[in-house]
């Protein structure tokens, strides 16, 4: 059974603007927020996932996006160093919670920005890491040192897809869903060199954050609005669970941003 | 060129970060040199590359480095140059850095400063207050000056080979022996002279007495009159024989027309010296109307600066001759600033002395009948030295002839 960390959206709202999706003029509707988040929670439980909840904190609206808490491998947790001051306050809460659950905390040097699972996804035996908008490439090297695994660093070039998990989603059969234009030419080549079976997503569907999906075996939980991708995935025997995510998209997040795997990998 | 050394670490091969960084360097008109690459052996092993990046300007380099940092490049920490105080006048601290004639930079507080002038066999004094780095020789060294010691923080930039066009200095450090035809090379040298004149560069001639003995004085005089030469270095003898030949038609008693000893000819150079001394110097003799032609006359009338230096075998010497060799070296060093082309004619020791003072960027032509003199100078001396083994007279005659043709060529 997969274990996932979520955070209830009690304090969620658009209170600052740190990516192109955010606009304080376009706030989230509280009732919809609640029902959309509960929809995700219910779906994940129904798919057999064990859900842990970290207590939300006032004045930290984005804590709901637990994927950016850090990266968990086995019993080790590498907390994020957030680039934006607005989110930096989340880190100690996540670290304390993880510590209380018995995880060993591996802190990165303070000067290296790293935004956890949002920018670090395992595909095969490699850890794919995005850099530039949020994480620094220097943090990838430190993560590789800590974990002793191959890290593929990929430059993100489209500010709308500022985290790796907004444009890249590895699948358990060794393939991956991606939006190629979110990466520079070298990043695209590096991904192609390590993932032989890639499912391209067109821009219209990528904008619905369909790559921001939670993959639980053959079940894929993704935001609604990407019929072509859903068709492709279903033809490959995946079961797609499409959820409304409009209120979280206003902050530049969706299903995957709202969850963190505990752990993402049992062992390397 | 300005340069920094960067380091890349991590899975830079699998992530294609290394090729990306190298492409970025080239696409921005900069260059790189791979200093070290270590490729990880196992899949999880990280790799390492140390790369020297160079760009034409300091700004271009910082812009580039800023971009490369985004891809994980770390700039290698370069230490400042180590400084030690000169313990006494004329004494360098132990382990002082000895200069070459190449462009050199020293680092202080993370910034690089060019050492001026570029001159070999000197030390480097650095003034922290003015941030000036300059070459100093024993004679100029004063107690308490801060001198660069060791090699840390010192960067030497070799003269770049000319790639955009083929010029005569493509024969870099080459020597044309007596058996080789020289017409084409002299034509090229003439072109360099013409370019130097048109662009108001400073051409230096170092002339030995053989210029007079071989009967080449009239050609050198012609070069001066045409305005090709801006600076002349010579010994007492060259000036004495030049004046002797003008006044008496002989050089050390040998009639230059008939190449035969004249009666009592050996007295002529002494009489010439005496005349100059009585006139208070060469300029005085010209003013008096006694000296009406020749190399020294041309220098005086054309305002070409000359530095005459003495030796222990000198007769006289002439009033202008500097007999203190340390002082002579200092003055020559001062005058040399700005020279771009140097012609060293038939005087091995004087040529050595000058070559030691020249930066590597100065194009140098050495002409001597003695192959070993030419070889020594081209081997030891500057990067851009061209040697011709030939008598001085045919060389200068041909050079003047080529220049005459260039000057009459339709524009």
Q: Determine which of A52-61, B56-65, B224-233 has the lowest per-residue pLDDT on average.
A: B56-65
Contacting residues for A263 by C-beta, under 8 A, at least 6 apart:
A3, A72, A73, A74, A75, A76
pLDDT at A6 over 70: yes
pLDDT, one tens digit per residue, over A165-220 is 999 999 999 999 999 999 999 999 999 999 999 999 999 999 999 999 999 999 99
Closest to B43 (Cβ–Cβ): which among A138, A150, A153?
A150
Interface test with B, best of A134, A151, A267 (most B CBs within 10 A): A151
Rg of chain B over CA atoms, in angstroms?
A: 26
Residue B37 pLDDT: 94
Predicted local confidence at residue B152, as pLDDT = 85
Evaluate whether the domain defined by B82-157 bears CATH number 3.40.50.12780.
no
Tell me the angle at which helices B236-248 and B295-302 cross, rounded to the nearest 10 degrees. Answer: 100
- So what CATH class is B2-75? alpha beta
Domain assignments of chain B as residue spans, ordered by start: 2-75, 82-157, 168-408
Task: Count how many pairs of residues, chain A against chain B, have C-beta atoms within 8 Å.
Answer: 57
How is the beta sheet containing B47-55 ordered, strand by strand?
B31-38, B47-55, B2-10, B74-75
- Contacts of residue B91, Cβ cutoff 8 Å, sequence gap at least 6: B141
For residues B271, B275, B281 and B282, what is the CA-based torsion angle, rounded to 10 degrees?
Answer: -80
How far apart (Å, rounded) are the C-alpha atoms in residues B411 and B405?
12
Mean pLDDT of A65-77: 97
Read off the tokens for A55.
Answer: 């207590």
pLDDT at residue B169, as a whole number: 66
Contact B11 A189 (CB under 8 A): no
Instruction: From A189, A157, A165, select the one nearest A261 (Cα to Cα).
Output: A165
Average pLDDT over residues B356-375: 89
pLDDT tens digits, residue range B84-104? 999 999 999 998 999 988 889
Please name each of the domains of chain A with its CATH number.
3-261 (3.75.10.10)
ipTM of this predicted complex? 0.91
What is the Cα–Cα distance from B238 to B311, expressed in whole angstroms?
12
Phi, psi dihedrals of residue A180, rounded to the nearest 5°: -55, -40
pLDDT, tens digit (0-9, with 9 covering 90-100), for B221-256: 999 999 999 999 999 999 999 999 999 988 888 888
Query: Which residues on neighbouring strands pair with residue B107, listed in sequence order?
Result: B112
For residues B133 and B103, the answer to whether their CB atoms sit within 8 Å is no
Yes or no, beta carbons of A141 and B16 under 8 Å apart:
no
Residue whose C-alpha is closest to residue B358's, from B122, B101, B135: B101
For B254-263, what is each residue's pLDDT tens digit? 888 888 888 8
Picking from B8, B9, B11 by the largest number of A CB atoms within 10 A of its own CB, the best residue to mutate is B11
Helix then strand count (H, E) for chain B reads: 13, 20
Q: Which residue of B has its CA nearest to A148?
A: B44
Q: Do B15 and A126 touch (CB under 8 A)?
A: no
Q: Which class would CATH give B168-408?
A: alpha beta
Cβ–Cβ under 8 Å, residues B9 and B36: no
- Chain B contact present for A155, CB below 8 A: yes
Weakest-pLDDT range from A148-162, B65-79, B111-125, B287-301: B65-79
Instruction: Give the percent of chain B with pLDDT over 90.
Output: 67
CB contact under 8 A, A141 and B46: yes
* Rounded-to-integer distance, Cα B334 and Cα B327, Å: 11
CB distance from B17 to chain A under 8 Å? Answer: yes
Q: In chain B, what percentage of residues exceed pLDDT 70?
A: 94
Show which residues of A are catalytic: 163, 257
pLDDT in tens, B146-183: 999 988 888 887 665 444 445 666 554 577 777 777 88
Min Cα distance B376 → chain A (Å) is 53
B16 touches A: beta carbon within 8 Å: yes
Residue with tokens 């003047």: B400
CB B241 within 8 A of CB B209: yes
pLDDT given for residue B366 in this prediction: 92
pLDDT at res. B182: 82
Other C-beta atoms closer than 10 Å to the C-beta of B334 total 11
Nearest-CA distance from A230 to chain B in Å? 30
pLDDT at B178: 74
B15 at A interface, C-beta within 8 A? yes
User: How many helices (H) and strands (E) would you count in chain A?
Assistant: 8, 15
Sequence-distant (≥ 6) Cβ neighbours of residue A36 within 8 angstroms: A243, A244, A245, A246, A247, A248
pTM, rounded to two decimals: 0.61
User: Which pLDDT belongs to residue B254?
Assistant: 86
């Amino acid at each position: 059974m997969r274990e996932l960390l979520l955070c209830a959206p009690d304090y969620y709202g658009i209170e600052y603007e740190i990516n192109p999706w955010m606009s304080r003029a376009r706030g989230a509707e509280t009732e919809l927020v609640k029902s959309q988040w509960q929809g995700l929670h219910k779906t994940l439980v129904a798919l057999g996932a064990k859900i842990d909840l970290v207590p939300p904190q006032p004045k930290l609206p984005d804590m709901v996006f637990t994927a950016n808490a850090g990266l968990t491998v086995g019993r080790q947790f590498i907390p994020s160093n957030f680039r934006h001051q607005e989110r930096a306050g989340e880190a100690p809460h996540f670290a304390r919670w993880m510590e209380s659950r018995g995880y060993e905390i591996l802190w990165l040097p303070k000067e290296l920005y790293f935004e956890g699972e949002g920018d670090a996804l395992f595909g095969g035996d490699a850890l794919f890491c995005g850099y530039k908008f949020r994480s620094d490439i220097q943090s990838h090297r430190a993560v590789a040192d800590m974990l002793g695994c191959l890290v593929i660093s990929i430059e993100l070039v489209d500010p709308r897809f500022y985290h790796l998990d907004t444009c890249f989603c590895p699948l358990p059969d060794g393939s991956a869903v991606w939006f190629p234009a979110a990466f520079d030419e070298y990043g695209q080549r590096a991904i192609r060199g390590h993932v032989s079976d890639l499912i391209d997503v067109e821009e219209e569907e990528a904008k619905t954050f369909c790559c921001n999906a939670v993959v639980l075996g053959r079940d894929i939980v993704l935001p609604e609005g990407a019929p072509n991708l859903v068709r492709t995935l279903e033809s490959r025997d995946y079961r797609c669970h499409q959820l409304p995510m409009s209120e979280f998209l206003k902050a530049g997040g969706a299903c995957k941003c709202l969850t963190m795997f505990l752990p993402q990998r049992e062992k390397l | 060129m300005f340069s920094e050394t960067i380091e890349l670490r991590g899975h830079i091969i699998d992530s294609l970060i290394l090729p990306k960084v190298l492409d970025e360097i080239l696409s921005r008109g900069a260059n790189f040199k791979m200093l070290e690459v270590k490729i990880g052996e196992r899949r999880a092993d990280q790799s390492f590359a140390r790369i020297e990046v160079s760009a034409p300007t300091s700004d271009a380099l910082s812009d580039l480095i800023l971009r490369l940092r985004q891809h994980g490049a770390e700039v290698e920490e370069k230490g400042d140059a180590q400084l030690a105080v000169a313990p006494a006048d004329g004494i360098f601290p132990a382990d002082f850095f000895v200069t070459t004639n190449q462009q050199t930079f020293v680092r202080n507080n993370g910034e690089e400063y060019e050492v001026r002038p570029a001159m070999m066999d000197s030390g480097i004094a650095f003034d922290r207050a003015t941030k000036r780095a300059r070459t100093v020789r024993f004679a100029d060294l004063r107690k308490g000056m801060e001198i660069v010691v060791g090699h840390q923080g010192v960067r030497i930039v070799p003269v770049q080979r000319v790639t955009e066009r083929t010029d005569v200095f493509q024969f870099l450090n080459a020597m044309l022996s007596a058996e080789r035809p020289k017409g084409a090379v002299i034509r090229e040298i003439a072109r360099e002279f013409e370019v130097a004149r048109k662009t108001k560069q400073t051409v230096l001639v170092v002339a030995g007495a053989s210029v007079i003995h071989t009967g080449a004085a009239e050609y050198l005089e012609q070069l001066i009159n045409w305005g090709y030469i801006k600076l002349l270095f010579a010994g007492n003898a060259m000036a004495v024989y030049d004046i002797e030949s003008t006044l008496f038609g002989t050089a050390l008693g040998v009639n230059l027309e008939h190449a035969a000893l004249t009666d009592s000819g050996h007295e002529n150079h002494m009489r010439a010296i005496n005349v100059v001394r009585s006139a208070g110097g060469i300029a005085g003799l010209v003013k008096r109307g006694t000296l009406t032609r020749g190399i020294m006359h041309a220098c005086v009338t054309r305002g070409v600066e000359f530095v005459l230096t003495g030796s222990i075998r000198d007769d006289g010497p002439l009033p202008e001759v500097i007999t203190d060799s340390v002082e002579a070296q200092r003055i020559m060093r001062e005058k040399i600033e700005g020279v771009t082309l140097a012609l060293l004619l038939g005087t091995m020791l004087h040529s050595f002395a000058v070559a030691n003072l020249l930066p590597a960027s100065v194009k140098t032509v050495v002409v001597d009948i003695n192959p070993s003199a030419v070889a020594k100078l081209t081997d030891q001396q500057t990067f851009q030295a061209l040697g011709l083994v030939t008598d001085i007279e045919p060389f200068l005659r041909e050079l003047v002839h080529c220049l005459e043709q260039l000057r009459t060529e339709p524009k």
